[in-house]
């Protein structure tokens, strides 16, 4: 259950076709950022042992994903490099309320929604490259393989938010943030990115 309010449109797959290399480079950056986000949660809420244990697992998995993507880039002869980031993450982080504990709830739910959207897009990407006239089976298998862990990360972040507010409050806020997320991603961005 990903709690997303929209399905990625075909226009994003057109961007994937036209800029596959840049998408893959951006994906590597996303995994690195995901590891950084999980590590930041440990620094911010170090007294929450449940959170620290879960985040340790996520940091390790995201770094492993980062490693897998840069290996994939290497096999394909693509040079990993800096990219100008898209606006998606910043726009979502702007929705985070300022006062604790609402801030913790929002930070965790936003992190979880980014996981959910990545997960949904990995699936679309895998199906797309696996079903084209000349299938890219390596890439299809790669993205199918990431689906399960990103879906689990989404559930973990949502569950951890319930340490900071009641289940009812968390689910209501998740519903609200998911609608806003769908609005943020709908128009797309000119820069080809995992979340454009
Ligand atoms: Fe990941
Ligand atoms: Fe993840």
pTM: 0.97
Distance 134 CA to ligand 1 centre (A): 27
Cα–Cα distance for residue pair 91/13, rounded to 1 Å: 22
The pLDDT tens digits of the residues spanning 79-135 come to 999 999 999 999 999 999 999 999 999 999 999 999 999 999 999 999 999 999 999
Distance in Å, CA 189 to ligand 2 centroid? 22
What are the tens digits of pLDDT across the range 146-171?
999 999 999 999 999 999 999 999 99
What ligand has the least distance to the C-alpha of 58? 2
Separation of CA 186 and ligand 1 centre (Å): 22
For ion ligand 2, residues whose CB falls within 5 Å: 34, 115, 150, 153
What is the average pLDDT across 18-38?
98
| 96 C-alpha to ligand 1 centroid (Å) | 22
The number of the ligand nearest the C-alpha atom of 31 reads: 1
**% of the chain with per-residue pLDDT over 70:** 100
* Averaged pLDDT of the chain: 97
Q: Which of 122, 115, 120 is nearest to 35 (CA)?
A: 115
Tell me the three state secondary structure of residue 29.
helix
Query: For residue 1, what pLDDT band results from cuts at 50, 70 and 90?
Result: confident
Report cis status (omega within 30 of 0) of the bond before 101: yes
């Amino acid at each position: 259950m990903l709690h997303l309010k929209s399905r990625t449109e075909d226009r994003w797959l057109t961007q994937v076709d036209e800029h596959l290399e840049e998408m893959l480079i951006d994906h590597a950056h996303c995994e690195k950022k995901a590891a950084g986000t999980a590590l930041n949660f440990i620094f911010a809420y170090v007294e929450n042992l449940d959170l620290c244990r879960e985040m340790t697992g996520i940091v390790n998995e995201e770094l492993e994903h980062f490693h897998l993507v840069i290996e994939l880039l290497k096999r394909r002869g693509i040079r990993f490099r800096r990219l100008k980031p898209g606006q998606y993450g910043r726009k979502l982080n702007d929705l985070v309320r300022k006062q604790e504990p609402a801030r913790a709830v929002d930070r965790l739910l936003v992190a979880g929604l980014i996981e959910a959207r990545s997960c949904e897009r990995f699936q679309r990407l895998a199906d797309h490259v696996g079903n084209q006239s000349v299938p890219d089976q390596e890439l299809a298998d790669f993205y199918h393989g990431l689906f399960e862990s990103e879906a689990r990360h989404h559930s973990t972040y949502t569950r951890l938010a319930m340490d900071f507010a009641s289940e009812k409050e968390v689910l209501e806020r998740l519903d609200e943030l998911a609608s806003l997320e769908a609005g943020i991603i709908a128009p797309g961005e000119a820069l080809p990115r995992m979340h454009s």
